[in-house]
Chain A
Amino acid sequence: MSALHVRTLTQLADGLRRKSFSSVELVSEMLARIEKSQPLLNAFISVTGAAALAAAREADRALAAGGGGALAGVPIAHKDIFCTAGVRTTCGSRMLDNFVSPYDATVVAKLGRAGAVVLGKTNMDEFAMGSSNENSFYGPVRNPWNPQLVPGGSSGGSAAAVAARLVAGATGTDTGGSIRQPAALCGITGMKPTYGRVSRYGMVAFASSLDQGGTLTASAADAALMLREMAGFDPRDSTSVDTPVPDYVAALEQPIAGLKVGLLAEFFDKGLDGDNERCVREALRVFESLGARVRQVSLPSLPLSVPVYYVVAPAECSSNLARYDGVRFGHRCEQPRDLNDMYRRSRGEGFGAEVKRRIMTGTYVLSAGYYDAYYLKAQRVRALINADFIRAFEEVDVLIGPTTPTPAFPLGAKTEDPITMYLNDIYTIGANLAGLPAISVPCGFAQGLPVGLQIVGPHFSEARVLAAAHAFQGATDWHSRIPVGFA
């Protein structure tokens, strides 16, 4: 029994339940692939082989006994931003290089209860700040489609691992596009649910009002299955919403004939690469052929989403990252002269350049005399953008557009100027500002590189968004393409 890795998470879950193969076989194959890929892709920060095999044996026992959860025996990985009891959680930072969480994030616990087997913790931009995965203390992750290129970020490790079929699915977090953008650049499916749908408890905070956990998988059907097990109300998270989780899997087959699709005018701007535009427009024709009614909609304030984001996210991060002070956990400098020296050097040494840049930006926009001009102003414009979306969803069921302006770019290409890097998220940030569910699905190739299509829905319309993506994937096969060398 070989080549299990080419199967989707859904197929693997079924195969395990039908005992066509064992979790131990599957996990062993995947661990071997991870080990082999690591020097090239660097997708993982920690690989937990022994624990994974033990969990696989456990899953096989449960399955043999006719038990086991919906994901029993299925190999997955967690972005190293999710706290895992007993396994170090670094957030891609020197600051947390030897931090071992005493507790499991709610997402980790839920997927564990569903029977998923965790093979390791994936690489990421430090504290989820980045769009290329070049900001990791553990070195950059490389794109399985072309190792000279970035996988996107900040969930670059998770995206590369799924694209290279090292795991069937992986968790990620999306604050400004950190699931959708790497999913697009790696040719996989990335789902960011509604803010409040997935618990943030145990997910190391970057920007609390924007962060949302989600999935990176090969297909929308896989996303539906994984999200169904991950989502749900959590009393430990005050921003977690107490509404029941629909069976996203059961809802996948709802027809999209008659679905009102809004084409986001603002997304087809000068920054959009020609090939990306071509792929997205072809995707729209697919939707039309499936009976969807496409019309243009305009969100006039949306072009301001990046400026809003780069005030709000740094502001929240400057406060969220103040807890890394070298006192209770995390890096502490050698021989501090005094308290302030300890603070300044521990943080100066523990944080990388981009994290420091954002902390300083956030500190500035919140400081006396600038709060109103920057922070408050940004929160007002955020309200305008939110209102734009609400208005749009009175006319259409979902909004569709490109996920990114361009395909994957070479390492180092955008590290010089932060703004050019920030603009990678120009199409994804809006959904975070408004807390909307959004998915990126593969919709073609530009010079051999995957291009992503983004589908955004109203709050808590995950089922509809997933069904639309699933319908599209039923009519296309972009999502089943596997990078050469990993097939």
Chain B
Amino acid sequence: MALTREQIASIATLARLELSPEEVPLYQDSLSRILEFVGALERADTANVTPMAHPLAGLTQRLRPDEVSEGDRHECYQRNAPLTAAALYLVPKVIE
């Protein structure tokens, strides 16, 4: 299961990762090897086996009472933000 440069490029786009021209062949090689390695799964007989999404089989979602427990702490939270103004997080203009 060898991946093409184009496939690596489109995966990187989907994942929003900038790759240098040098990185592309490296990931092309290692991802291809990983996919070949996990390809071993094909051989397992999983006819009518239900996929297991988490280890807590049988447990179901707990529900929270509808209560407001959080107050305004935006100043504290925004100390980690690269760029803000007027309490807004700023990003390069989104064109629509």
CB of A380 within 8 A of CB of B54, answer: no
In the bound complex, what is the Cα–Cα distance between A257 and B62 (angstroms)?
Answer: 40
CB of B38 within 8 A of CB of A307, answer: yes
User: At the interface, yes or no: A40 with Cβ under 8 Å from chain B?
Assistant: no
List, in ascending order, chain A residues with CB within 8 A of B89's CB: 327-328
Who on chain B is nearest to A375 by CB?
Answer: B51
In the bound complex, what is the Cα–Cα distance between A356 and B30 (angstroms)?
Answer: 11
In the bound complex, what is the Cα–Cα distance between A342 and B82 (angstroms)?
Answer: 12
CB of A348 within 8 A of CB of B19, answer: yes
List, in ascending order, chain B residues with CB within 8 A of A477's CB: none
List, in ascending order, chain A residues with CB within 8 A of B17's CB: 344, 347-348, 351, 356, 359-360
List, in ascending order, chain A residues with CB within 8 A of B40's CB: 304, 307
User: At the interface, yes or no: A195 with Cβ under 8 Å from chain B?
Assistant: yes
User: At the interface, yes or no: A349 with Cβ under 8 Å from chain B?
Assistant: yes
Contact with B along A349-367 (1 / 0, CB 8 A): 1010100110111011101
- Contact partner, A241, options B3, B11, B42, B56, Cβ 8 Å: B56
User: At the interface, yes or no: A267 with Cβ under 8 Å from chain B?
Assistant: no
In the bound complex, what is the Cα–Cα distance between A105 and B49 (angstroms)?
Answer: 36
Residue among B27, B37, B52, B92 with max Cβ neighbours from chain A (10 Å):
B52
CB of B91 within 8 A of CB of A339, answer: yes
| B54 CB, nearest partner CB in chain A, Å | 4
| A49 CB, nearest partner CB in chain B, Å | 23
| B18 CB, nearest partner CB in chain A, Å | 3
User: At the interface, yes or no: B59 with Cβ under 8 Å from chain A?
Assistant: yes
- Contact partner, B12, options A196, A341, A360, Cβ 8 Å: A360
CB of A102 within 8 A of CB of B77, answer: yes
Who on chain A is nearest to B83 by CB?
Answer: A332
Who on chain B is nearest to A101 by CB?
Answer: B80
| A437 CB, nearest partner CB in chain B, Å | 11
Chain A residues numbered 314-359 whose CB sits less than 8 Å from any CB in chain B? 318, 322, 325-332, 336-345, 347-349, 351, 353, 356-357, 359
Taking A307-B41, A378-B38, A382-B52 as contacts, is the C-beta distance between A326 and B18 under 8 angstroms? no
List, in ascending order, chain B residues with CB within 8 A of A327's CB: 81-82, 89, 91
Taking A99-B80, A102-B76, A310-B38 as contacts, is the C-beta distance between A325 and B16 under 8 angstroms? yes
CB of B34 within 8 A of CB of A418, answer: yes
Who on chain B is nearest to A233 by CB?
Answer: B62
CB of A379 within 8 A of CB of B62, answer: no
CB of B55 within 8 A of CB of A195, answer: yes
List, in ascending order, chain A residues with CB within 8 A of B56's CB: 195-196, 239, 241, 435
CB of A100 within 8 A of CB of B27, answer: no
In the bound complex, what is the Cα–Cα distance between A435 and B56 (angstroms)?
Answer: 7
| A271 CB, nearest partner CB in chain B, Å | 14
- Contact partner, B81, options A328, A340, A345, Cβ 8 Å: A328
CB of B91 within 8 A of CB of A342, answer: yes
User: At the interface, yes or no: A433 with Cβ under 8 Å from chain B?
Assistant: yes
List, in ascending order, chain A residues with CB within 8 A of B51's CB: 376, 379-380, 382-383
In the bound complex, what is the Cα–Cα distance between A306 and B39 (angstroms)?
Answer: 11
With A209-B53, A374-B35, A422-B37 known, 4 other A-B pairs at CB within 8 A are A328-B78, A337-B92, A386-B52, A419-B37
